Amino acid sequence: MTRFATIICFALALCGCVGQQTARLPSAPPPGEPAGVAGLSTQQLRVAFGAPVFVRKDGGIEMWRYDGANCKAFFFLYPDPAGLSVRHVETLPRPSDAAADTVCLNRLRVGGQPVS
């Protein structure tokens, strides 16, 4: 096959893919954090949930992951004047109407007040 014919075949194959449907991502959860979680400092987070099983640092932002038997929690910490604090939390699984499941968060807590 000539180079030109190969290019034509490749172009035609790509055109066939254009009409295919793509998977849609689920919609984002509504904004808002469970009470008692947003604003926690790193020290307060450790007291409430213990040591994270995984920490990812990306510039000045950190993500702390906690694993339970039935769920995982992801805390997103951002810089503030006193250091880092929780600005967002998500759980897996999560309810369809929120980013975090309070039942999951309460199961993962090791101390302090339950999340509501």
Rounded alpha-carbon distances, angstroms, from residue 5 to 8, 11, 15, 18, 24? 5, 10, 15, 20, 35
Q: What pLDDT is stored for residue 41 in this prediction?
A: 96
Q: Are 105 and 34 in contact (CB under 8 A)?
A: yes
What does each of the 116 residues of the chain score in pLDDT, given as a tens digit? 566 656 565 555 655 555 566 777 666 656 678 888 999 999 999 999 999 999 999 999 999 999 999 999 999 999 999 899 999 999 999 888 888 999 999 999 987 667 76
Q: How many CB atoms lie within 10 A of CB 94?
A: 16
